[in-house]
Structure 1
Amino acid sequence: MKEQCTESNDFFKRLYKNGKLIEFDEKSKIVFISDVHRGDGGYADSLRQNRNIYKAALGFYYENGYTLIELGDGDELWKNKDCLDIAYNYKDVFSMLNNFYDDNRLCLVYGNHDIVKANPEFIKRQERLFANAGNGFGREMINLYSNITFYEGVILRYMPSKEDIIAFHGHQVDFINCEMWKTSRFLVRHVWRFMEGVAGFKPPTSPASNYDKGTKIDHILGHLARKEKKVIICGHTHNDIFPEADEGIYFNDGCCVFPSAVTCIELTGGKISLIKWAIEVDSKDVLYINKTIIGGPENLEKYFYYAKQF
């Protein structure tokens, strides 16, 4: 694990050089949502079961003035080689994302499953595919992706103390899903995708499907946060994590593909909270989507203080 953290200085330098800088204060409202895995609407589309929960969360955050940071793996581009089916099946979602973008309240970070977004040539290829489809096909997605910048990470600077939170997907410390992502993508796209649909098989290299692997990645990220003395927010492992301030400074927003639940992290009023969106049943047996705080809220200043103590 130490070897995987030895290059953290270079990684952080790269993020500070190329990442998105967002200054915020106690009046700001920010939400981190990762591992959405928007797919083609078929049996291997991990978001399909939580589509309405996810849309309800997006609607709430837009109407209440939040800045949305999608922290990687927004689209499932390992199982799908292009964006055509994703755009078709989630055009309503991309309309909502465009609303955030038009209000300058959207930041998109790529993860390992959509790392191809970092390559401008991939977006140009999508533009050609959509143009060939004709009739304005997928305009909600392609209009957004042709104009927005995809980042590897975000530096959130809390004012006026100027303490930083570093947010990135988290695959950067996962050798199989970072250095060997092309091999992993091939196996997911051509082998495990179909085994998942037929027999419920889960990819053994995925931290989301392997508890031990996910826990090891979370441990590495927690070590990285303490080593760099920075509060870190990630996704990738699908494990929602919200530590006490004296226990750690690494947070994980979970994912959108839990069984009947979506988790995320909010920064509001100078505090940090872990949120769960889920389908509930009221006293009249009517289904509704409920928002629950499952971690916090805790003052950010507490974590900034303890970050200096590790």
Structure 2
Amino acid sequence: MSSALRLSRAYTTAKRIMFDDSSKFILFSDCHRGDNSFADDFANNRNIYFHALNHYYNEGFQYCELGDGDELWENVYFESIFEAHKNVFKLLRKYHLDKRLHMIWGNHDMVYKDKTYVDKHLSSYFEPIDDTDKELFEGITYNEAIVLKHRTTGQELFLAHGHQADWWNYRFWRWGRFLVRVLWKPLQVWGIADPTSPAKNYTELIKLERRIKRWILKNNLLITIVGHTHRPRFPEPGDIPFFNDGSCVHPRSITGIEIENGQISLIKWHIETSVDGTLKVVRVLLEGPQKLLDYQEKA
């Protein structure tokens, strides 16, 4: 099956969410939450991520995670990830209880496409203090893709991880997982990157982006937002509407995409030093806000 067919299938079977100009969404991807070991890339930015996610919760945003939220190639069990970042998962639970949590699986957490696996590992957790099992994400469903559809204009936004355009990481993800666990995870501690990852291989990154752009051109310039490559993308109106929210494992910062007031923006959160020497987490606008209708195909 070609990358175009995989993307089309993901679009056809996607979870549909209606929205309007009063709706607010924050899109993050590629958190790669790990076990807080030396190989856990998320650990360096977890305080930034937690602060940003807490801000969006208090502001009434819905959260869409576009895949690779949990690092289940390097780590065998979700439980070790949960214990390392319990405060993050308890915050995500608040989104879930408010029906504001929308999850997509990527290649590094592709096991979440199996509802049985999700129900077994993510529905509850053991709390040693109380010596009881407590609910976590009871009834949650992970999706391959999500389509946001505007109630008034009918405009659609297609959200996916993006590995549908990466044949190795989609079809042979089990082999990729095996290689990461036995080879690249130990080498990562020494600073040697996995060459099969498009986030670390510029040639593969460009090829992947070209495949997705070709698919967008064949599908009426549908606004498409992905992650996977870790490379933020924010096109100008009139260009191919291909967006990428970046990742949460940039050095000392995380990037994401906001949708609010019928507009789209690329943002960054990072730690800034004040003149008095104190540290604070701040939000920086990188691109936008741009009206979504500016990307609407003209009749």
Q: What TM-score, normalized to structure 1?
A: 0.90
Equivalent of 1:60 in 52, 55, 58: 55
Looking at structure 1, the residues matched to 185 and 241 of structure 2 have their Cα atoms a distance apart, in angstroms, of 35
Contact 2:10 2:144 in 1 (8 A): no
Contact 1:226 1:249 in 2 (8 A): no
Check if 1:219 corresponds to 2:210. yes
Check if 1:37 corresponds to 2:32. yes
The alpha-carbon distance between structure 1 residues 287 and 4, as it changes in their structure 2 partners (threshold 3 A), is same
The 5 Å alignment of 1:32-181 reads 32-126=27-121, 135-136=131-132, 139=134, 143-144=136-137, 146-181=138-173
Q: Partner residue of 2:12? A: 16
How far has the Cα of 1:251 moved from its partner? 0.2
The alpha-carbon distance between structure 1 residues 81 and 276, as it changes in their structure 2 partners (threshold 3 A), is same
Corresponding residue SS for 1:22: strand
Corresponding residue SS for 1:47: helix
Looking at structure 2, the residues matched to 242 and 132 of structure 1 have their Cα atoms a distance apart, in angstroms, of 42
Corresponding residue SS for 1:44: coil
Looking at structure 1, the residues matched to 288 and 273 of structure 2 have their Cα atoms a distance apart, in angstroms, of 24
Looking at structure 1, the residues matched to 124 and 115 of structure 2 have their Cα atoms a distance apart, in angstroms, of 14
Q: Structure 1 residues 173-182 or 276-285, which shifts more?
A: 276-285
Q: Partner residue of 1:236? A: 228
Looking at structure 1, the residues matched to 182 and 280 of structure 2 have their Cα atoms a distance apart, in angstroms, of 37
Contact 1:34 1:72 in 2 (8 A): yes
Corresponding residue SS for 2:237: coil
Check if 1:296 corresponds to 2:291. no
Question: Which structure 1 residue ranges, 5 or more long, are not aligned?
Answer: none
Greater helix share, structure number? 1
The alpha-carbon distance between structure 1 residues 159 and 130, as it changes in their structure 2 partners (threshold 3 A), is closer
Corresponding residue SS for 2:200: coil
Q: What value does the CA root-mean-square deviation take over the aligned residues? A: 2.1
Per-residue CA distance 1:122-179 (angstroms, 9 max, x = gap): 2355379956989347x4xx621x4201100001001201111110000011011001
Looking at structure 2, the residues matched to 212 and 127 of structure 1 have their Cα atoms a distance apart, in angstroms, of 36
Q: Partner residue of 1:25? A: 20
Looking at structure 1, the residues matched to 155 and 86 of structure 2 have their Cα atoms a distance apart, in angstroms, of 38
Q: Partner residue of 1:262? A: 254
State the 4+ residue runs in structure 1 displaced beyond 3 angstroms: 3-6, 127-134
Corresponding residue SS for 2:194: coil
Contact 2:29 2:246 in 1 (8 A): yes
Looking at structure 2, the residues matched to 86 and 187 of structure 1 have their Cα atoms a distance apart, in angstroms, of 20
Contact 2:32 2:41 in 1 (8 A): yes
Question: Which structure 2 residue ranges, 5 or more long, are not aligned?
Answer: none
**Aligned sequence identity (%):** 36
Per-residue CA distance 1:251-279 (angstroms, 9 max, x = gap): 00000000000000011000000010011
How far has the Cα of 1:102 moved from its partner? 1.0
Q: Between Structure 1 and Structure 2, how many residues are aligned? A: 297
How far has the Cα of 1:100 moved from its partner? 0.6
